[in-house]
Amino acid sequence: MKLGPIMMDVSGFTLTETEKTNLDKPSIGGVILFTRNYQDIHQIRKLIGEIRMINPDLLIAVDHEGGRVQRFREGFTHLPAMAKLGQVYDKYPEHAVEQAFSCGWILAAELLAIDVDFSFTPVLDLDYGKSLAIGDRAFHSNPEVVIELAGSLIKGLHEAGMKCVGKHFPGHGHVEIDSHIDLPIDERSMNEIEYDILCFKGLINKGLDAVMPAHVLYPQVDDKPSSFSSIWIKEILKTQSGFGGIVFTDDLSMQGAHFIKNITERVYLSLESGCDMALICNHPELVTEVIDLDWPNSEKLQLMKGIKPQEFNKMVLNHHINNIQSLF
């Protein structure tokens, strides 16, 4: 099954008639859910069921990392910010690695149980202590620790049946500005940025299924932000680093993406640069501008489908929940 390259969002607890029409368009390959779409477990199952009735092959995703970025809360296990795992690692590394696995398993098992395919996680940015957007979402300041903890979290995701998305390539942690608000500019040389890229390179052969580039400009390397840069995506990520997985844009309605004024040009350039799927969130009018255009469809995107277990294993879930209690 080929999927369209655009991931859209929906406005509330149920689908509008316009959303039902749009979800059936060939250009739409996925839906991203937000807190505004979640009332309780019963309601979110019903909403996802509505989406599946229109097109069962659509990818359904959510930003569900833990800490302050956890879209569904009531009825779900509260997951810690990943920085908590880094703090534990500095004293008890083996225990932190076990807890990272538990976080990944819980996250995946609970989302798969409501028929969400994947979460945009883990964050692989380094903690330089300066990024407003990243902060405690990062595991650590040391790439080796990030690789070990994120790698264990990915193993937990995979064991439960979920794929992962590492973000934000090549690294968002060194810039203060939040790319939701403006375009951050990272003036470092390629040699310096290589330190951040180690996190991604170290996980490519350890289960990294997908990558999300940053809406950050690195002028020492290219004159385009990495989401729109064939140098970053095709040359550095794919050719030099050997990544063969899927590439998602970050939300193309974010201010960091306004480097290119026109939404059609944003989608075109991101796909041309090597991205497989373009996210457009919180601005349905922008989706309307691109939804009926002729975009290339891809079978590759189906690799991100979640594997839903035949029955939910509460005993295993409770084991993993107990394993992370000391993080709070």
Judge whether 249 lies within some domain. yes
Instruction: Count CA atoms within 13 Å of residue 64 on its CB side.
Output: 33
- Name the pLDDT band for 311 (thresholds 50, 70, 90): confident
Judge whether 1 lies within some domain. no
Judge whether 18 lies within some domain. yes
Q: Would you name the residues annotated as active-site residues? A: 180, 250
Give the model confidence (pLDDT) of 225-279 as tens digits: 999 999 999 999 999 999 999 999 999 998 767 778 899 999 999 999 999 999 9
Judge whether 268 lies within some domain. yes
Contact 249, 228 (CB under 8 A): no
Give the model confidence (pLDDT) of 65-75 as tens digits: 999 999 999 99
**Which CATH number belongs to the domain containing residue 196 in this structure?**
3.20.20.300
Judge whether 103 lies within some domain. yes
The domain of 279 spans 6-327
Give the model confidence (pLDDT) of 190-209 as tens digits: 999 999 999 999 999 999 99
Q: Which distant-in-sequence residues (6+ apart) come within 8 Å of 138 by Cβ?
A: 82, 83, 86, 123, 125, 126, 127, 131, 146, 173
- Name the pLDDT band for 313 (thresholds 50, 70, 90): confident
Judge whether 281 lies within some domain. yes
pLDDT of amino acid 20:
98
Query: How many domains, in total, are found in the chain?
Result: 1
DSSP letter string over 245-294? SEEEEEETTSGGGTTS--HHHHHHHHHHTT-SEEE--S-HHHHHHHTTS-
* Global confidence as pTM: 0.96
Judge whether 224 lies within some domain. yes
